[in-house]
């Protein structure tokens, strides 16, 4: 029949579309992508099952990436759905799933939804003025990658805004547990705007120390966004230095480094000024 | 109380979110942005009124841009909503409306939804590899702007994909009707992928004639998307020359000029090959 990829939007059970909900109700099987950012959205399986009035099957990364046939099996005779936080095409994993469905001649339909990629427009910066999106990786004892700096620099030189998606670590195992083969996972960790700003400023210091003038500094403006689309959403417009000391509360956070700003963009950002 | 900006998504009445629908039902007044792309989405007022079971007030461009107080009036004592195709922050007009609400101390809440800006991910090209979005303007007898070429060139040189939004002309008046003050509007017109590709190829020819090697040519790959998110959505991957002769059917169309493509992106695009 049809394999449906259904976007859940920004995190509340009610962010599903009316179309998405009616498809979920009629499908033979409904899978839920359970390994990316689902937990921090507070969207656990039981909440969704209660809202949909039906069973939902959790699919962890191994299933989606290595045993995708488990998800697709039977979709040639019955409707099967896969639920994804945000929009279904935020991650390459789903591209892969679509390709496998097509190989098996299973028709694929997508129910789109909001994702952080378009919802960031709520801060007032215009979406068409964004350059390449970057991912800021969480620094862990000694492992301090900074390859995203070059992308930010390239965007800034062109006057583009840069959306920085912040790292999420879920289902990570300690070295000891991994070695002992124990399926015990560390509590999930989410990079905050404060931590990301601190990393960015350290990278700028290092560039400076090596004789390169960095494209931003402590007083450069930035926008921190937390829990976009939630009732307690928080948007703060301040300097990178201020952001490095700013607590935006629970995850998910995203950070924007603005490029050239138009007057209307600035007017809107000013409504989110720190201590305004 | 609250002024709600509610995204309608990609065009079907059922693309509204469950949250958006329940807010619409409880609001004192519900306005509908009626001047951008609403018509080509087939979302007319009566269809929405039937689906929502309530009255909807059309707001044309003059009202939203010049008499926004008409929309905001009463939102300090009752809930009022404004419905917008796609996500509410696709257009600067809504930023302006939010600023005016904030000036009047009216709390604003946004119900996000999918927009073409994130839904284009369905073709397989990764959203974070897109550079600046451009708008391709419809050429009209002698008026042939080409400023978007430089933005496409800049994206391509960096290896970024370029999403080209295609021009929409609604509620345009003929010179005669405008001079006579007659409120008679021309039928809406939508730039197609074929027309946009033709314009792009003409610009490349002109660059070449003036001694500049253009960043794309007739055999450059492109992706045409029509009616994204609809049941009859069409995606075609072919050369610019082929696209200039390709009929993707009714609006809305969007065109992508890919930059550097990863193997998985190519695998997915190949499933949309012309005559595949």
- The top-level CATH class assigned to B117-270 is alpha beta
Distance from CA of B246 to the nearest CA of A (A): 23
Q: Which residue, B121, B237, B223, is CA-closest to A94?
A: B121
DSSP code at position A159? T
pLDDT value at position A35? 66
Is the CB of A139 inside 8 Å of chain B's CB atoms?
no
What angle (nearest 5°) sits at the alpha carbon of residue A88, between those of residues A84 and A94?
A: 90
**Residue B39 — pLDDT band, cuts 50, 70, 90?**
low
Q: Is the peptide bond before A35 cis (omega within 30 degrees of 0)?
A: no
Q: What is the pLDDT of residues B215-225, one digit of tens each?
A: 999 999 999 99
In this structure, what token pair is assigned to residue A146?
């900074």
Contact: A17, B18; criterion CB under 8 Å: yes
Best B122, B156, B161, B263 member to test A by mutation, with max A CBs in 10 Å, is B122
Residues A252 and A90: their CA atoms lie apart, in Å, by: 15
Question: What are the tokens at B273?
Answer: 């090959």
Measured CA distances, A206 to A99, A144, A211 (Å): 43, 12, 9
Residues 155-184 of A with CB under 8 A from B: 158, 160, 165
pLDDT at B252 over 80: yes
The verdict on B258 touching A (C-beta cutoff 8 Å) is no
Question: B156, B240 in Cβ contact below 8 A?
Answer: no
Give the integer Cα–Cα distance in Å for A256 and A199. Answer: 14
Residue A131 annotated as binding site: no
Spatial separation of the C-alpha atoms in residues B189 and A78, rounded to whole Å:
40
Answer yes or no: is the ipTM higher than 0.95: no
* Domain A3-114 fold: Cobalt-precorrin-4 Transmethylase; domain 1 (3.40.1010)
**Residue that the structure tokens 């099952």 belong to:** A49
What does the alpha-carbon distance between residue B117 and residue A163 come to, in Å, rounded to a whole number?
14
CB atoms within 10 A of CB A53: 9
pTM above 0.95, yes or no: no
Query: Is the link from the previous residue into A14 a cis peptide, with omega within 30 of 0?
Result: no
**SS3 state at A109:** strand
Task: Confirm or reject contact between B229 and chain A (CB < 8 A).
Answer: yes
pLDDT at B37 over 70: no
- Is position B166 annotated in a ligand binding site? yes
Q: pLDDT (tens digit, 9 = 90+) per residue, B149-204? A: 999 999 999 899 999 999 988 767 777 887 888 777 777 789 999 999 999 999 99
Q: Are A8 and A16 in contact (CB under 8 A)?
A: yes
Model confidence band, residue A28 (pLDDT cutoffs 50, 70, 90): very high
Tens digit of pLDDT for each residue in A109-141? 999 999 999 999 999 999 989 999 999 999 988
Domain boundaries, given as residue ranges, for chain A: 3-114, 117-270
pLDDT at residue A112 in the model: 96
Determine which of A2, A121, A134 to mutate to test the interface with B (most B C-beta atoms within 10 Å). A121
CA nearest A153: which of A200, A198, A199, A116?
A: A200
- Which of B73, B87, B79 is CA-nearest to residue B37? B87
Q: What is the mean pLDDT of residues B37-51?
A: 76
Could you give the count of Cα atoms lying within 13 Å of A114 in the half-sphere of its Cβ?
Answer: 35
Task: Please tell me if residue B135 touches chain A, with a CB cutoff of 8 Å.
Answer: yes
């Amino acid at each position: 029949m049809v394999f449906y990829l259904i976007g859940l939007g920004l995190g509340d059970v009610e962010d599903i579309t009316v179309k998405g909900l009616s498809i979920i109700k009629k499908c033979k099987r409904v899978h839920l992508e359970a390994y990316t950012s689902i937990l921090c959205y507070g969207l656990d399986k039981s909440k969704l099952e209660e809202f949909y009035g039906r069973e939902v099957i959790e699919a962890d990364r191994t299933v989606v990436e290595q045993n995708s046939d488990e998800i697709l099996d039977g979709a040639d005779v019955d409707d099967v759905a896969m639920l994804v936080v945000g929009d279904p095409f935020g991650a390459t994993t789903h591209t892969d799933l679509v390709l496998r469905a097509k190989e098996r001649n299973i028709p694929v339909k997508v129910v789109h939804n909001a994702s952080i990629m378009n919802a960031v427009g709520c801060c007032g910066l215009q979406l068409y003025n964004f350059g390449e999106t970057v991912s800021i990786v969480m620094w862990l004892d000694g492992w301090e990658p900074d390859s995203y700096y070059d992308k930010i620099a390239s965007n800034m030189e062109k006057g583009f805004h840069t959306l920085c998606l912040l790292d999420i670590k879920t289902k990570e195992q300690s070295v000891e547990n991994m070695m002992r083969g124990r399926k015990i996972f560390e509590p999930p960790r989410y990079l905050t705007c404060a931590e990301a700003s601190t990393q960015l400023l350290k990278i700028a210091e290092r560039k400076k120390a090596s004789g390169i003038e960095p494209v931003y500094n402590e007083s450069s403006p930035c926008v921190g966004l937390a829990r976009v689309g939630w009732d307690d959403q928080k948007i703060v417009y301040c300097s990178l230095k201020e952001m490095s000391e700013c607590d935006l509360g629970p995850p998910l956070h995203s950070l924007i480094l603005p490029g050239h700003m138009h007057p209307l963009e600035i007017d809107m950002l000013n409504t989110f000024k720190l201590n305004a």
